[in-house]
Structures are given as structure tokens and as C-alpha cells.
Amino acid sequence: MLTVADVAVSRGGRRALEGVSFELRPGHALILRGPNGIGKTTLLRTIAGLQDPAAGRIERASGSVAYAAHADGLKGAMSVAENLRFWARIFGAAPATVDAALAALNLSDLGSRPAALLSAGQKRRLGLARLVVLGRPLWVLDEPTVSLDDASVALFAGVVRGHLAGGGAALLATHVDLGLPEAAVLDLAPFRARADRARAGRPASFDEAFA
């Protein structure tokens, strides 16, 4: 479903990670670990197609990735259900999935409330409900459990498990224990770009900005 082969990513013209290779098959989850600033977010954004890898090759079906990052893409002036219905329409998903997604993340009672009035944890759950709505096979999640309480983390782990059971795959960057013992763990620390090569990328960075 996803093949990452010898990929290097750069952030602001500086190499962050290099030589990253892994494979993710349907029904499997992979958790990325590593210290702050090593380039987890950059790697996930690259895999989601928001930027090009500096080197190497990423293979995935086009339109297979559902990406969720620190910001949830919610409009405070719209209600919880309206927010989800909007993303369902943009991604061409069936409107019926909205109710199922709200139920899956325990948001059914909040459907008509403006998103601006949600707590941080409820917003996060709404952001994760979007993943269920989109129905895309590969979930790429950046710190999905920020501001979630224990019960919600367990709820989220259940949703991920359901997604894996349905033939999906998930790639997560997280520091907390999700309660997903079946997920493989990849430590990114050995792939940190060497300092000399990180700087060698500098002269090319101007052209890179326009590549």
C-alpha cells in the first residue's frame, strides 16, 4: 500500500532525515518515533504528497492518503456536522458516512453545535472523525492523540483497529502509548541526516524552492 525507499526529506532547505525505507501493507500500522525536531512531521507531509522528497522514492496509489496533522481543518462558524459534510463532499464521500463517523468518535450529541464551542479534545475527535468520513485506505496521522483524554485515546485506538480490520493501513507519529500493541514501531533516530551533508544541501536550496 505504501513503499518508502531510501527517502530523504528536507525542511527549509536542510536535510532532516535520509535513507528512510519501510513498507506498509494493508491491515498493518506503523508508529514512527523519534526526538522532537528529527523530521517526523516533514516525513509525514512528504508521504501525504504535500512536498516532494529530496531523494528516494515513495510509492502509493494516488488519492489513497488521508492526512491529519496538528490543525484539524475546522471552521468555528460551522456546526460539527456541517464541517464533516463539507469534507465528505470535497473528497467525494457518501454523506451517509457523516453520521457513522460522529457515532464512532462519540460526537453524535454535538452534531449541531458550532465547532468554535468545542473543547480542544472534542475538536481533535472531530478532526479524527474526518478520517472515517473520507474512507481513504492509508491514514497518515501526525500526533493524533494530542489533547485527548484516556477514554478518547482508547476510543481512537478502537477506530484505528476497525480501519486496519477493514483492509486499511495507518502510519502514525506519536510519543504516547496508543494501546495498539500490534503496530510495528520504527525509530527514526538512526536516519538523522549527517551534519556535513545537511549543510551540503544549502546551495541547492534556492533552486529547490522553485522545483
Partner 1 sequence: MKALLLRDLQLATRAGGGFGLGLAFFLIVCTLVPFGVGAGGDVLSRIAPGIMWVGALLACLLSLDRVFALDREDGSLDLLATAPVPLEGVVLAKAAAHWITTGLPLVVAAPVFGLLLHLPAPALPWLVLSLALGTPALSMLGAFGAALTVGVRRGGLLLSLLVLPLYIPTLIFGAEVVRMGAAGQAPTTPLALLSGITLAVVAAIPFAAAAALRVNLR
Contact residues for partner 1 (CB under 8 A)?
45, 48-51, 63, 65-67, 69-75, 77-78, 82, 86-87, 89-92, 130, 209-210
Closer to partner 1 by Cβ: residue 163 or 180: 163
CB of 151 to partner 1, least distance (A): 25
Closer to partner 1 by Cβ: residue 36 or 62: 62
HEC string for 92-140: CCCCCHHHHHHHHCCCHHHCCCEHHHCCHHHHHHHHHHHHHHHCCCEEE
Contact partners, residue 138, CB within 8 Å, separation at least 6: 1, 2, 24, 60, 64, 65, 66, 168, 169, 170, 171
CB of 104 to partner 1, least distance (A): 19
Whose grid coordinates read 513503499? 3
CA distance to 55, 167, 193, per residue, from 207 (Å): 15, 40, 20
d(CA 91, CA 188): 31
CB of 143 to partner 1, least distance (A): 13
Closer to partner 1 by Cβ: residue 45 or 125: 45
Closer to partner 1 by Cβ: residue 46 or 152: 46
**Distance from the Cα of residue 159 to its chain's centroid:** 14
**Which three cell numbers, joined as nine digits, stand for 83?**
464541517
CB of 42 to partner 1, least distance (A): 9
CB of 182 to partner 1, least distance (A): 26
Closer to partner 1 by Cβ: residue 68 or 178: 68
